[in-house]
Structure 1
Amino acid sequence: MIVRLLLLLVVSCEAYASYVDKAKRRGTPPKDLGVLKRTINEQSIDADPVTFSGLRGCDGKPNCFSTTGDSLLEDRILTGVDTLISPWRPPADDPAPFKTLASAVKEYKPGQSFIDGGGFAVVKETDSYLYVQFEALKKGYIDDVEFAMAGGREQGIQVRSSSRVGQTDFGVNAIRLNAIAASLRAKGWAIDEITPKTHQDYFYAADDARDQTFDKDRRKGTEMENGRMDRPAIG
């Protein structure tokens, strides 16, 4: 049973109420979510195919991050932008790392950095798998976010965060994962931050989308984004 957690700690109840009855674009969830048999490097010339149990990869659009992806950068960018991230690694002294992760996800505050104002729903949770749907406030876009411990703890936690609709996500998936990761780093976890240096093409697409939108709410927050609000929008 899906438990809808409308944790409006940052976004006011009045703001949510003004959009709750509006038409939503939730999109269609992928049919192959979860821990399944996956193969990477299938089309690579220089890397051998590898088959394993894990989460779904991304489709090359700049609206997704996953720990599943081809090994070589040149192979990943043949189908789009590089969206591969490293597994999240818990500290050796954490006796129940997946439980720690699940708690950090549930403590996430919708509305921070002007994203996920519609709240989130824990769709499925086991001792080694967590599937959560995050909802945008205005148009109800749903992002599918998964975490899995499919191997030993030395292999880390697999992660996937992806939008269902559109080409770019305005940086939402990076903001969300970085926020959850920051709370875990404070507990000793080793997690790489997603930045314009690590994923240049993803952030270029997000910044370009902000430049071309009239929705100023998407361009609030950082000094760079606020500067864009003075520039004419396109389209």
Structure 2
Amino acid sequence: MPHNEFGQPIGPAVPGWTPRPAIEPVTLTGRHVRLEPLTQAHAGLLYAPMVTESDPRIWTYYPHPPRMTWPEFGAYVAGLLHLPAAVPLAVRGPDGAGLGVACYLRIDPANGSAEVGGIVYASALQRTTAATEAMVLMMQHVFDDLGYRRYEWKCDSLNEPSRAAAARLGFTYEGRFRQAAVYKERNRDTDWFSITDAEWPALRSAYAAWLDRANFDDAGRQVRTLEQIRAATGR
């Protein structure tokens, strides 16, 4: 632990640090999924997959009704487009089908920090290879393309699927912000998770090994889970 001239402990040096580029609207393409800058025009593509064709429980931990009307859904998309320090992305399949939404939030280029949030996957996307690949593509852009130091994940502390997804992807649990918000006339405690640039290389290798074609049989079933691969690499 370094100390200053007064004998006080101080944080490790970050030599040569300069602010990172801002995260701009970007298209990210993988083998199973494509993310592209969200526009109001995507509302028509996403409404049925995310509302009428999805389990309404996907909206439980968001401040939106589970069976939004078309005008309500249009307002939801418009709201995402006006979030401060955010880049919302539409998630689409290789065939162009609408599959969901994910956002870069709390973008802080000066400190090299950003959050992934506002993630709403249609039922058709949940628990698929494409769902994982979408998250990996977003991380790769932040760490590899832009050189950020910190990537955050936050969720309602009672949202067990989100907590499990963060753990599966290798995010580190950092703590709980009690009574952090009120939505749908109820309290939200928010759990915080993160990945740092020091952790990223091992995680990147684990993701690549899991997404490798050789890790899936002819029926598309995984040979090794991501957790098994991470455990073998110490992440």
Q: Same fold (TM over 0.5)?
A: no
Structure with the higher strand share, 1 or 2: 2
Q: Structure 2 length as normaliser, TM-score?
A: 0.30
Name the larger-Rg structure.
2
